[in-house]
């Protein structure tokens, strides 16, 4: 009975958000938010690495590890419980192509919110974590608006991201510092010239 009610709520919320007669501008914005805004997250990690200290880099690595765990959890959930996408079951309107893979949880948002949760484990990156979490909301909205996800897929992604960060938490004082120490010599060698120019931090 509870499952039926949740599915009904999911469908109702989806039909409320999903575009019914969008303009060309709305569709363009929807595609950009749904597909392209996600690149803000790896871009932030890469650029931040160039300008931060050891503590900041460990926060970035925590976020990367959390995102990797989130992707594994998302894959596992989709194998255990396959939930079809809206266009597969014939509900609403689909405005961008997508394979009929599992809908729950959203991989895009699992990745994004795992990065946010991983960053939030480190005080030096909590403000950035909140800003990125807010940036993830338009992605969540757009993927429902464009008809490739249900709203509860986004709630599942939030739980997946939080769980992934929780799993990564014991690594904060052990594996993460060692990982940083292994990566930094390679980074300093590869970015020797930008570091000498003062464009990147050693």
Q: Examine residue 146 and state whether it is found in any structural domain, yes or no.
A: yes
- 10 Å Cβ neighbour count for 98? 18
Q: Examine residue 149 and state whether it is found in any structural domain, yes or no.
A: yes
Q: Examine residue 33 and state whether it is found in any structural domain, yes or no.
A: no
- What's the number of domains the chain is made of? 1
pLDDT 10s per residue in the chain (202 long)? 557 788 889 999 999 999 998 999 999 999 999 999 999 999 999 999 999 999 999 999 999 999 999 999 999 999 999 999 999 999 999 999 999 999 999 999 999 999 999 999 999 999 999 999 999 999 999 999 999 999 999 999 999 999 999 999 999 999 999 999 999 999 999 999 999 999 999 8
Q: Which domain holds residue 105?
A: 40-192
Q: Examine residue 109 and state whether it is found in any structural domain, yes or no.
A: yes
Q: Examine residue 67 and state whether it is found in any structural domain, yes or no.
A: yes
According to the model, what pLDDT value does residue 2 have? 52
According to the model, what pLDDT value does residue 176 have? 97
Contact between 187 and 49 under an 8 Å Cβ cutoff? The reply is: yes
């Amino acid at each position: 009975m509870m499952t039926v009610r949740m599915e009904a709520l999911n469908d109702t919320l989806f039909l409320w958000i999903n575009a019914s007669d969008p303009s060309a501008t709305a569709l363009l914005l929807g595609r950009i938010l749904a597909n392209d805004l996600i690149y803000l997250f790896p871009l932030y990690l890469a650029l931040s690495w160039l300008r931060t200290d050891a503590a900041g880099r460990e926060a970035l690595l925590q976020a990367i590890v959390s995102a990797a765990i989130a992707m594994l959890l998302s894959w596992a959930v989709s194998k255990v419980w396959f939930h079809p996408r809206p266009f597969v079951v014939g509900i609403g309107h689909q405005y961008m192509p997508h394979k009929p893979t599992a809908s729950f949880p959203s991989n895009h948002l699992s990745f994004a919110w795992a990065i946010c949760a991983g960053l939030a484990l480190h005080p030096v990156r909590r403000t950035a974590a909140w800003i990125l979490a807010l940036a993830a909301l338009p992605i969540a909205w757009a993927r429902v608006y464009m008809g490739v996800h249900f709203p509860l897929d986004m709630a599942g992604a939030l739980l997946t991201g939080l769980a992934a960060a929780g799993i990564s938490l014991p690594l904060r004082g052990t594996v993460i510092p060692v990982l940083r120490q292994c990566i930094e010599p390679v980074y300093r060698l590869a970015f020797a010239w930008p570091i000498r120019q003062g464009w990147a931090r050693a």
